[in-house]
Amino acid sequence: MEYLGGVLHSMISPLFIVFVIMSVGYAIGGIKIKGISLGTAGVLLVAILAGVVFSFVPSFTVGGETIEFFGDSTQKVYKTVQSIGTLLFVTSVGLIAGPKFFRSMNKSMIAYILMGIVIVLVGVGTTILLAWIDPNMDMDIATGLLAGSLTSTPAFSAAGEAAGKVWGDLAELHQANISTGYGLAYIYGVLGVVLFVQLMPRFLKVDIEKEREHFVSANKLEIKESDEKLFQMEKFGFFPFFITIFLGIIIGSIEIGFFSLGSSGGTLVAGLIVGHFGRFGKLDMKVSKETLKFFQELGLALFLVGAGIPGGIKFLEAFSWIYILYGVIMATVPMVLGFVLGKYVFKLSIFNNLGSITGGMTSTPALGALISTAGTDDVASAYAATYPFALALIVISCNLMVMLPF
C-alpha cells in the first residue's frame, strides 16, 4: 500500500493534473454545435470542474501517503502556471501587433481608447447602481464582482491591497469579500465574452470569409524590410521573446501612485515596442510567426488551467445566485453597450469592434476565441490598443470603490 501511495503521489501531482486538464479541455473545446465551439475556453471549463471536485476532496490518504489535490503548496503551483501562461500569451500578442501598431495610429486609435474607457466606466456605474439598489451587498463584494466580470486579476489584487491599507485590522474580512465576488463573477466574465465574440457575427449574419478579406486588406501596411544583415542569437526567436518578457516585467513593476501595469500590461507594452523596432542595434529581435502562434496558444491554455482550478474552488465556497446574476449583468451591460458604441458611433468593422471589446473587457481568452473566429491575428491590434487604457482605469476604479461607504 505504501508503494501504491508513492505511485499515486507521483502521478496525481499538480503538473500531471495540469496536462490532463489541457488534454480533456481541448477535446471538449473542439466539439462544435451549430458552428460554435468553446475552443481553448474548454480548458477553462474543465479546470473549473476540477476545482469544484477538489473543493469536496482536497486530499486523501493511501498507504500512509497523503495525496493533496489542493493545498498551500499546490496553490502556488497553479498560481505559477497561471502567471507563466499570462506572460507567454500577452507577450505574443504584443509582438504580433507591434509591427503594425504604431504605424496604424490614426483616428481609430482615439476610438479604441474611448471604447476602453466607456466599457470600464459603464461597468463601474452598473456595479455602483446594483450596490445602491441592494442594501445587502457590501461594496467589497461588488468590487470583487466587477473585477471578476472584467476578468481583471490586477484589479482584483489592487482592490485587496487597497482594502488592507484602508481597513487595518478588519482588512482580512474585506479582502475575503472581494475574493468571494471575484470568484463568483469570473466564470461568466470569461465564458460570456468568449461566446459573445463568436455569436455576434452570426447574429448579425456576417460573411466571415468576405469580412476577413476586407479586414486584412484594410489593415495591410507595407513594412519595409532592411537589407542590412542582422545577427541572430538562434533561429527560433526564443531569445528576443524571453528578453521581451524580462523587459515587460520591469516595465510592469514601475508604480505611479497606487497604479502599475503589472506583469501582463508591462509585457504587452514591451511586446509592442520590441515588435515595432524588430532590432536592437545589429541584433535581430524578430520572432517568427510560427513561434508566436505556439507561445500564444500554450500561454492561453496554461493561464486558463491556473485560473480555472482556484476559480472552481472559490465558486462553490461562496455560491450565491443573486451575486452570480449581478456578475452577469456587470459583464453583459458594458460589453453590449461597448459594441453598440463601436458599431454605430465609431463605425468600426466587426473584427476591430470585437477586438476592442476583448481589450476593454481585459479578456485574454476572448481574444484567443476571436483570433480563431476571424482567422487572422490582425484583430490583436484593436485589443492591444484598448487593453492598457481599460486596465489602468479598472485598477484605479477598484482601488477607489473599496473606499465607498455603501
Q: What is the mean pLDDT of residues 11-33?
A: 85
Q: Confirm if 370 and 352 have CB atoms less than 8 A apart.
A: no
Helix (H, G, I), strand (E, B) or coil at 221: coil
Residue for cell digits 486596465?
Answer: 391
Report the percent of the chain where pLDDT is more than 90: 18
Q: Mean pLDDT lowest for which of 80-89, 187-196, 252-261, 379-388?
A: 252-261
pLDDT tens-digit series, residues 211-242: 888 887 767 655 555 667 888 888 888 999 99
d(CA 6, CA 94): 43
pLDDT band at 106; cut points 50, 70, 90: low
Residues 284, 235 contacting (CB under 8 angstroms): no
Distance CA 320, CA 130 (A): 15
- 406 within domain boundaries: no
Interatomic CA distance for residues 196 and 202, integer angstroms: 10
What pLDDT, on the 0 to 100 scale, is given for residue 332? 95
Q: Which long-range contacts (CB under 8 A, 24 or more apart) does 208-216 make?
A: 208/373, 208/374, 208/375, 211/349, 211/350, 211/351, 211/374, 212/351, 212/374, 212/375, 212/376, 214/349, 215/349, 215/351, 215/352, 215/374, 215/376, 215/378, 215/379, 216/376, 216/378
175 and 162 in contact (C-beta within 8 Å)?
A: no
Specify the 3-state DSSP secondary structure of 401.
helix
Q: Is it the case that residue 107 has pLDDT exceeding 80? A: no
Number of structural domains (the chain) is 1
Instruction: Over range 71-76, report the average pLDDT.
Output: 74
- Report the run of H or E that residue 67 belongs to, with start and end: strand 65-68
pLDDT for res 242: 93
> What mean pLDDT comes out for the span 284-311?
85
**Confidence at residue 151, expressed as pLDDT on a 0 to 100 scale:** 82
| DSSP 8-class letter at 33 | B
d(CA 340, CA 334): 10
The residue ranking higher by pLDDT, 170 or 132, is: 132
> CA 208 from chain center: how many Å?
25
Q: For residues 324 and 188, what is the distance between their CA atoms, to the nearest angstrom?
A: 8
Whole-number Å distance between alpha carbons of 330 and 324: 10
> Contact 3/63 with Cβ under 8 angstroms?
yes
In a domain, 105, yes or no: yes
Neighbours of 121 (CB within 10 A): 15
Measure CA 148 to chain center.
11
In a domain, 224, yes or no: no
Quick check: 7 pLDDT over 80?
no
Q: Could you tell me if residue 222 is inside a domain?
A: no
The enclosing H or E element of 356 equals helix 350-360
Looking at residue 136, its pLDDT comes to: 86
DSSP 8-state code for residue 403: T
- Number of other CB atoms surrounding residue 147 within 10 Å: 34
How many other β-carbons are positioned within 10 Å of the β-carbon of residue 191?
19
Res 229: pLDDT: 80
Average pLDDT, rounded, for the chain: 81
The larger pLDDT score, comparing residue 108 to residue 378, is at: 378
Q: Read off the DSSP letter of residue 286.
A: -
Q: How far apart are CA 111 and CA 130, in angstroms?
A: 28
With respect to residue 228, please indicate whether it lies within any of the assigned structural domains.
no
Show the domain range for 109. 2-217+233-401
Could you give phi then psi for residue 231, rounded to 5 degrees? -85, 130
Report whether 110 contacts 383 (CB < 8 A): no
Looking at the chain, the whole-number percentage of residues with pLDDT higher than 70 is 83
Tell me: pLDDT of 119 over 60. Answer: yes
Give the CA count within 13 Å in the CB-facing half-sphere of 382. Answer: 31
Give 378's DSSP letter: G
Q: Is the pLDDT of residue 41 over 90?
A: no
Cell, residue 125: 456605474
**DSSP line for 55-66:** HH-SEEEETTEE
How does residue 256 score in pLDDT terms, banded at 50, 70 and 90? confident
Q: C-alpha cell of 164?
A: 488592507
Tell me the pLDDT band of 114, cut-offs 50, 70 and 90.
very high
Whether 223 maps to a domain, the answer reads: no
Cell of 213: 478579406
Query: Per-residue pLDDT for 199 more than 80?
Result: yes
Higher pLDDT among residues 13 and 91, named by residue: 91
| Sole residue written with cell 507594452 | 269
**Are 28 and 46 in contact, with CB atoms under 8 Å apart?**
yes
